[in-house]
């Protein structure tokens, strides 16, 4: 199914206390990566817009937090129903602005819905605990919201990444200000409508549109208690440093450079499909995409299968577009430089034919470079495009030494038929997520998502149980009603 691009631009507005309202800053055009057409006019927000969103969110949060968790959860059961009902329309919208294929847009939304399902289960998971710690004295945990919190999200998953944070934060009684990426902001308005329809009280979810200025105003606002960020490493580091310098709780996920270790005993068909789909899926614009193939020993048959699979992909149908023309220039320059330095191009996507009617879009086909050396820039820098670099290695130790030298720590996978060798790679990998015969080792709920190193600043993971600790405080309550005869040091 092909993506339908909106025919005329829509105004992209803030969502404040249940109403759409233009931000006071500059207006910027939003282009569809598929064909370059203007699909939105984004009104940026300034610090006054952010202050209004925070003020009204703070008022709404008190009433929202006073509701029993079982009542809050009803909104999210209803939201799930609405998102499933409107799956096709929302998947199409997010694909049109991010460059994804329709199937990728749908898959991202379904993954977001899976996190929403986790949030609806918090009412049953998070029972806390109460224990009689000495005669007549009990201790208990109460999980309390932080107040107003913020989520700043990247362009590449306009619904899935926001769903990593919004449902869990709201279920725990916070109100949240979401700042979507200025490159893919249209989906946020559609999600806001779905939230309203589901019965979320006004002000509990606020959206401020914009870029750096809006993000910084949110981070700096004294009434924003915690900031979740997902984006590139340089910005993640800045956001983490800025927020923590103000004494705030910050979890900032950054970029990635994911390695795949390919061993000669791997199933060639499994490896061919898994590795090709990993570096070409979402046109390489996902933080879990394979970037470097550590080819150990004779794996030429496997590499031929990867090439064959990648060659068979039709742009527009099986593989989406790249977010911007600047990003295409960057990819071309990196490929050119790598070839100049001695890498051999064995699949060249630079002149790939764009789909019919998309000549003004941003397209590049799958590209594979062989004989890349570990110290070349292309082997270390995050590219965020459908480019796979092959580094030839003599053994697993050499491969893992290269993997371990990366400052990024998102994901690593191994393709092998041996449990013992898989275990060796799992234990030596320097990343937060590891896969065995899986090209995109995204943990599914309830397993949490998060890397280490320069792929994540802050403690804990963004989803799963540790997200509950991020979005709440544990109050420890110790209670006694009567003086006890046999008192101890505590009584």
Contact (CB, 8 A) for 286 and 249: no
Number of DSSP helices (H) and strands (E) in the chain, helices first: 15, 23
Nearer to ligand NAD by Cβ, of 100 and 179: the residue is 179
- Least CB distance to ligand NAD at residue 328 (A): 14
Residue 394, both tokens: 């003599």
Query: Between residue 389 and residue 428, which ones bind ligand NAD under the rule CB under 6 A?
Result: 410
Check binding of 46 to ligand NAD (CB under 6 A): no
Answer yes or no whether residue 384 interacts with ligand NAD by CB under 6 A.
Answer: yes
Is residue 454 a contact residue for ligand NAD (CB under 6 A)?
A: no
For the CB of residue 450, give the shortest distance to ligand NAD in the complex, in Å: 7
Which H, E and C letters describe 18-35, residue by residue? CEEECCCCCEEEEECCCC
179 counts as binding ligand NAD under rule CB under 6 A: yes
Looking at residues 323 to 382 of the shown chain, list those that interact with ligand NAD (rule: CB under 6 A).
382
The interface region with ligand NAD, picked from 124-132, 228-236, 312-320, 360-368 by CB under 6 A, is 228-236
Q: Pick between residue 142 and residue 407 the one whose CB is nearest to ligand NAD.
A: 407
Q: What is the DSSP string of 157-184?
A: -TTHHHHHHHHHHHHTT-EEEEE--SSS
Q: Are 56 and 203 in contact (CB under 8 A)?
A: yes
194, 109 contact by CB (below 8 A): no
Nearer to ligand NAD, 396 or 440 (CB): 440
By CB under 6 A, tell whether 149 contacts ligand NAD. Answer: no
State yes or no: residue 464 binds ligand NAD (CB under 6 A). no
Stretch that binds ligand NAD, among 6-14, 105-113, 230-238, 414-422 (CB under 6 A): 230-238
Q: Which is nearer to ligand NAD, 161 or 322 (CB)?
A: 161
For residues 108-141, one letter each, b for 16 or more C-beta atoms within 10 angstroms of the residue's C-beta and e for the rest, the string is bbebbbbbbebbbebbeeeeeeeeeebebbeeee
For the beta sheet containing 456-457, the strands, ordered from the edge strand earlier in sequence to the opposite edge, are: 19-21, 14-16, 205-207, 175-179, 148-152, 224-230, 249-253, 456-457
Q: One symbol per residue from 185 to 224: x for binding ligand NAD (CB under 6 A), - otherwise; what is it? A: --------------------------xx--xx--------
145 makes contact with ligand NAD (CB under 6 A): no
Q: How far is the CB of 132 from ligand NAD (least distance, A)?
A: 42
**Contact flag: residue 430 with ligand NAD (CB under 6 A):** no
**Can you give the C-alpha Rg of the chain in angstroms?**
24
Q: Which of these segments, 10-18, 150-158, 350-358, 474-482, binds ligand NAD (CB under 6 A)?
A: 150-158
**How long, in residues, is the chain?**
491
Question: Between residue 237 and residue 256, which ones bind ligand NAD under the rule CB under 6 A?
Answer: 238-239, 253-256
Q: Per rule CB under 6 A, is residue 181 in the interface with ligand NAD? A: yes
Kindly state whether residue 470 participates in binding ligand NAD, applying the rule CB under 6 A: no
Residue 209 and residue 12 in contact, taking contact as beta carbons nearer than 8 Å? yes
C-alpha–C-alpha distance, residues 238 and 48, integer Å: 22
If the CB atoms of residues 196 and 442 are measured against ligand NAD, the closer one turns out to be 442
C-beta of 216: minimal distance to ligand NAD in Å? 6
Interior angle at CA 37, CA 27 and CA 163, nearest 5: 70
State the DSSP code for 315. Answer: B
Residue 230 lies near ligand NAD (rule: CB under 6 A): yes
Cα–Cα dist 491/484, whole Å: 8
Is 97 a residue that touches ligand NAD (CB under 6 A)?
Answer: no
Tokens of 458: 């802050």
The dihedral through the CA atoms of 285, 262, 103, 195 has a sign that is negative
Catalytic annotation present for 287: yes
Q: Is there binding between residue 287 and ligand NAD (CB under 6 A)?
A: yes
Catalytic position from the list 287, 358, 389, 412: 287
Active site residues: 287
Residues in contact with ligand NAD by the rule CB under 6 A: 152-157, 161, 179, 181-182, 211-212, 215-216, 230-232, 235, 238-239, 253-256, 287, 382, 384, 410, 451, 455
């Amino acid at each position: 199914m092909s993506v339908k691009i909106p025919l005329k631009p829509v105004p992209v507005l803030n969502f404040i206390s249940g109403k759409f309202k233009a931000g006071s800053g500059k207006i910027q055009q939003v282009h569809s990566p598929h064909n370059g057409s203007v699909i939105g006019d984004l009104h940026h927000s300034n610090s006054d817009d952010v202050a209004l969103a925070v003020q009204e969110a703070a008022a709404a949060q008190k009433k929202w937090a006073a509701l029993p968790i079982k009542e809050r959860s009803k909104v999210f059961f209803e939201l799930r129903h609405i998102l499933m009902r409107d799956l096709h329309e929302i998947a199409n919208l997010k694909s049109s602005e991010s460059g994804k294929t329709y199937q990728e847009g749908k898959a991202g939304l379904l993954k977001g819905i899976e996190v929403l399902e986790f949030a609806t289960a918090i009412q049953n998971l998070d029972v806390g605990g109460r224990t009689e710690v000495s005669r007549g004295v009990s201790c208990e945990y109460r999980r309390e919201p932080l107040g107003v919190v913020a989520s700043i999200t990247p362009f590449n998953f306009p619904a899935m990444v926001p769903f990593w944070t919004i449902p869990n934060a709201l279920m725990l009684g916070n109100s949240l200000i979401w700042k979507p990426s200025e490159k893919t902001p249209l989906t946020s308005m559609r999600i806001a409508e779905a939230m309203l329809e589901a019965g979320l009280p006004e002000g509990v979810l606020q959206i401020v549109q914009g870029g750096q200025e809006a993000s910084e105003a949110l981070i700096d606002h004294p009434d924003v208690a915690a900031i979740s960020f997902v984006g590139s490493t340089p910005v993640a580091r800045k956001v983490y440093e800025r927020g923590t310098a103000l004494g705030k709780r910050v979890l900032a996920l950054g970029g990635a450079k994911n390695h795949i270790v390919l061993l000669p005993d791997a199933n060639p068909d499994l490896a061919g499909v898994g590795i090709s789909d990993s570096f070409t899926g979402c046109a390489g614009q996902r933080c879990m995409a394979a970037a470097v193939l550590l080819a150990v020993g004779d794996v030429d048959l496997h590499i031929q299968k990867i090439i064959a699979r990648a060659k068979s992909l039709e742009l527009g149908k099986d593989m989406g577009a790249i977010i911007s023309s600047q990003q295409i220039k960057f990819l071309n320059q990196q490929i050119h430089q790598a070839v100049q330095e001695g890498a051999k191009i064995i699949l060249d996507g630079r002149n790939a034919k764009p789909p019919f009617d998309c000549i003004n879009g941003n397209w590049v086909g799958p590209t594979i470079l062989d004989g890349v050396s570990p110290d070349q820039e292309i082997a270390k820098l995050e590219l965020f495009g459908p480019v796979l670099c092959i580094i030839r290695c003599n053994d697993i130790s050499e491969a893992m030494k290269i993997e371990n030298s990366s400052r990024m720590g998102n994901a690593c996978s191994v393709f092998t038929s041996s449990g013992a060798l898989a275990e060796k790679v799992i234990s030596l990998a320097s990343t937060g997520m590891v896969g065995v015969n899986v090209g995109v080792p995204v943990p599914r709920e309830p397993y949490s998502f998060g890397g280490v190193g320069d792929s994540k600043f802050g403690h804990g993971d963004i989803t799963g149980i540790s997200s509950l600790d991020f979005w709440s405080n544990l109050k420890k309550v110790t209670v006694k009603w009567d003086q006890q005869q046999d008192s101890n040091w505590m009584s």
